[in-house]
Amino acid sequence: MPFLGQDWRSPGQSWVKTEEGWKKTTAEDTNNNVSLESFCKTVEEEECFNKENLLLSLSYDMAAKKRKKDLMNNNTKVPYFHREKWIYVHKGSTKERHGYCTLGEAFNRLDFCSAIKDTRRFNYIVRLLELIAKSQLPSLSGVAQKNYMNILERVVQKVLDDQQNVRPIKELLQTLYVSLCGLVQDMGKSVLVGNINMWVHRMENILQWQQQLDNIQINRPTSTGMKLTDLPASLQLNIMQRLTDGRDLVSLGQVCPELGTLTEDRLLWKKLCQYHFTDRQIRKRLMVSDKGHLEWKKMYFKLSRCYPLREQYSDTLHFCTHCHILFWKDTDHPCTANNPESCTVSLSPQDFINLFNF
C-alpha cells in the first residue's frame, strides 16, 4: 500500500486516490485542482441561481395568469350545473355505485336555475341559499361554490326586474357577506376553494347588489281598475290574514291611513301568533296592556325574536325513502314501490341540508 503523504523518494509530492488508481501529485497540481474545483462550484452556483430566478419568474407569471383566468371564470355567466329533475342520493359505496352523494353534488345537478323562475319555489330556494351561506358554504366543492354565486346573481336580477321580495334578498346578501368576511380571513386553512382575489371580487359584487337593492324604486301600476282600498273592510282583513310575515303587515299599514288602521286589528295579530307559535310559547311571553287586553302585535315580535317562525312553501323538494331519490314535488321519478306517495317525504330547506350530513 503506498504511503499517503510526502515520500522521501519523491519530495514535494503526495499520493492521491482517483478513479483510475493511485497517482502522485505535486503541490502546484493540488492548488490548480482546488482552484478548478472552486471555479466549477462557482459556475454551478451561478447556474442554479439563474435557474431559481427563472423558475420564480415563471411561477409569478403563472400565478398572474391564473388570477386573471380565475377572474375571467368568475365573471362568466354560464353556470356549470345540470338540469336534472331528480337525483339518486346514495350515502355509501355499493357494488353498483362508488362513493356517495354530497350537498355540493346535489346543488350542482338539481334544476335550481329554472326553479328560481317559478314563483312557488322562489322562497324555498332563497331560504336554502341563506342556510348554505350561514354554515355550509365551505363544504361545497369549487364548482358548487361558483354555481352558488351564479344562482345568487340570477336571484338578485329577478328581484330587480320584478321589484318583489326585496327584503328577504337583502337579508340573504347580508348573511352571506358576514359569513364571507370570516371565511376569507381563514383562506390559508382551505375553507374556501380558489384564491383570495376571486373571493374579494365576489364580495365586491355582493356590496354592489346591496347598493342596487337599496336604490330600487318600485313603480306604481298604471292600472285604473279596483284597488285594495276599494274593497269592503271585511275583504281587506281577509286578504291580510293570508300574509304570514308581520313585517309585511307593518309595511302594508304604511301605505295609507285606512290600511294602517286595519293592520292594527288585534284579531289579525292573534291569528298570526297562533299560526307561528305554540300555546306554550305564547303563555311564556304574555303582554297585557293598561286596559287589560293582550298586546298581540307586541307579543308577535317578541316571540319572533325568541323562537323560529313557521315555514310554509308552495312547492318543496321531496325525498323517496324507498328508492332514495330526491325530486321536486311536481316531477315524477322512477319509483319501484307499489304506493310511491306513502314513502315520499316533503323536505324543508333545513331537512334538505341535514339529508347530506352523514
Taking 90 as the threshold, does the pLDDT of residue 207 lie above it? yes
Q: Which residue has the higher pLDDT, 79 or 173?
A: 173
Look up the domain containing 206 and give its range: 86-215
Mean pLDDT of 349-353: 88
pLDDT value of position 313: 86
Cα–Cα dist 240/140, whole Å: 40
**So what's the pLDDT on residue 212?**
92
Which region holds residue 184: left if phi is over 0, alpha if psi is between -120 and 50, else beta?
Answer: alpha
Query: Would residue 10 count as lying in a domain?
Result: no
Q: Locate cell 303563555: which residue?
A: 283
Examine the pLDDT at 220 and tell me if it is beyond 90.
Answer: no
| 275 and 202 fall within a common domain | no
**Is pLDDT larger for residue 41 or for residue 235?**
235
The pLDDT tens digits of the residues spanning 164-180 come to 888 999 999 999 999 88
pLDDT in tens, 288-327: 888 888 899 999 999 999 998 888 888 888 888 888 888 8
**197 and 156 in one domain?**
yes
Q: What is the pLDDT of residue 80?
A: 45
Residues 117 and 199 occupy one common structural domain: yes
Q: Are residues 109 and 211 in the same domain?
A: yes
Domain end marker among 271, 289, 306: 306
Closest alpha carbon to 264 in 240, 284, 292: 240
Asked if residue 228 lies in contact with residue 239, where contact means CB atoms within 8 angstroms, the answer is yes
Same domain, 254 and 293: yes
Number of CB atoms found within 10 A of residue 75's CB: 9
Of 167, 194, 215, the last residue of a domain is: 215
Same domain, 209 and 249: no
> What would the pLDDT profile of 109-149 be if each residue is shown by its tens digit?
787 877 888 888 898 999 999 999 988 888 888 888 888 88
**Mean pLDDT, the chain, integer:** 77
Q: How many domains does the chain have?
A: 2
